[in-house]
């Protein structure tokens, strides 16, 4: 039986140094604590919304705040962490002056679904950063990335750059490996998109969806990216939150702590992740809370969308 701890130890000195092992151990423990809070949230009165909005202009839920603090505490327990960056914080937080990494996270992705008991998650990545300006680097600089999905089971996905491992939280509170070196199927007949936003889609997305439906594809949409991503890691498909037709290049999802970690995981599992005309991991960030279009999943399906954007670009310059 391979536990999360034994997996980390097996990679110590290779993909992971001693400092990263400590960081990942504390993040895993933080997700276990968040899982415990979620399991009894209704009983503890942790439902509804607070009267506070975050830097995104979104109303915070009590569990947004609690999850954020749990992850900040995980960073404080890791001496190698120099900075923490969170969806719930206006700017980066300096954690340890002598640290050499930044931990970047969305503490509770999909929290608008909390009160209806839908799967939500924690998304995270770790990058090398000794100065605040080091944080704004492309997703190619990520050292590790992962997410925890809190649903019927609590699962933790992790990649240290090659391959994706899935761990499941057992009754004793330990993460046990339940799938090794996961790969996303190259082809799929499922897609996830918010169909209510069709009037805002550009022609590439409209054409892809119409041809997919004509070809027998099914639509799945949870409105919690971690939940939709977890389905794709298990059986393939494509997730799309494209740019608004009126604002080319714009998006709704945040680059540093949503798109980049998921893009890192997807590529490590043999899938593809793009932001319209560019790979997500190649985007150079300009701000901590920058938003981008997000399309990821099965390689051959994403390739169709990528090719359509390329043809459109060639037509524009012709």
Indicate the domain borders of the chain: 4-179, 190-317
| Digitized pLDDT (tens) for each residue of the chain, 318 residues in all | 899 999 999 999 988 999 999 999 999 999 999 999 998 776 455 665 554 556 565 667 789 999 999 999 999 999 999 999 999 999 999 999 999 999 999 999 998 888 888 999 999 999 999 999 999 999 999 999 999 999 999 999 999 988 999 999 999 999 999 999 999 999 999 999 999 999 999 999 999 999 999 999 999 999 999 999 999 999 999 999 999 988 877 899 999 999 999 999 999 999 999 999 899 999 999 999 999 999 999 999 999 999 999 998 878 776
* Residue 124 CB contacts under 8 Å (≥ 6 apart), including other chains: 27, 71, 103, 104, 105, 106, 145, 146, 147, 257, 261
Contact of 63 with 106, CB cutoff 8 Å: no
Read off the pTM: 0.95
Tokens of 57: 């202009």
| Helix H or strand E segment including 73 | helix 62-76
Rounded CA separation 97/109 (Å): 29
The answer to whether 58 and 254 are in contact (CB under 8 A) is no
> What is the CA 251 to chain-centroid distance, rounded?
15
End-to-end CA distance of the chain: 58
> DSSP string covering 119-169, please?
-EEEEEEEEE-SSGGGGS--GGGEEEEEEEEESSSEEEEEESSS--EEEEE
| Residue-level length of the chain | 318
CA angle 159, 30, 172 (to 5 degrees): 90
Beta bridge partners of 106: 123
Domain 4-179: CATH architecture, name and number where available: 2-Layer Sandwich (3.30)
Task: Kindly report the CATH number that applies to the domain delimited by 190-317.
Answer: 3.40.190.80
Rounded Cα gap, residues 117 and 109, in angstroms: 13
């Amino acid at each position: 039986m391979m536990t999360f701890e034994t997996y980390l130890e097996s990679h110590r000195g290779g993909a992971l140094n001693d400092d990263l092992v400590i960081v990942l151990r504390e993040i895993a423990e933080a997700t276990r604590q968040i899982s415990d809070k979620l399991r009894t949230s209704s009983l503890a009165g942790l439902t509804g919304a607070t009267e506070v909005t975050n830097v995104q202009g979104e109303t915070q839920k009590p569990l947004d705040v609690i999850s954020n603090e749990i992850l900040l505490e995980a960073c404080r327990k890791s001496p190698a962490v120099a900075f923490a960056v969170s969806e719930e914080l206006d700017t980066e937080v300096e954690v340890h002056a002598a640290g050499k990494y930044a931990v970047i996270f969305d503490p509770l992705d999909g929290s608008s679904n909390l009160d209806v008991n839908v799967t939500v998650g924690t998304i995270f990545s770790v990058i090398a950063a000794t100065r605040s300006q080091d944080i704004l680097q492309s997703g190619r600089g990520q050292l590790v990335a992962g997410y925890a999905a809190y649903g019927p089971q609590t699962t933790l996905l992790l990649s240290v750059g090659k391959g994706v491992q899935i761990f499941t939280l057992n009754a004793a509170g330990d993460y046990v490996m339940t799938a090794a070196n996961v790969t996303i199927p190259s082809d799929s007949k499922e897609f996830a998109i918010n169909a209510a936003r069709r009037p805002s889609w550009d022609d590439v997305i409209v054409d892809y969806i119409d041809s997919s439906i004509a070809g027998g594809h099914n639509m799945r949409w949870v409105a919690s990216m971690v939940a939709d991503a977890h389905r794709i890691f298990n059986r393939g498909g494509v997730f799309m939150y494209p740019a608004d037709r009126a604002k080319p290049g714009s998006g709704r999802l945040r680059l540093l702590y949503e798109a980049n970690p998921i893009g890192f995981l997807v590529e490590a599992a043999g899938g593809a992740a793009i932001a319209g005309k560019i790979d997500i991991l190649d985007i150079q960030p300009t701000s901590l809370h920058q938003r981008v279009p997000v399309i990821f999943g099965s390689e051959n399906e994403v390739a169709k969308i990528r090719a359509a954007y390329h043809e459109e670009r060639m037509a524009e310059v012709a």
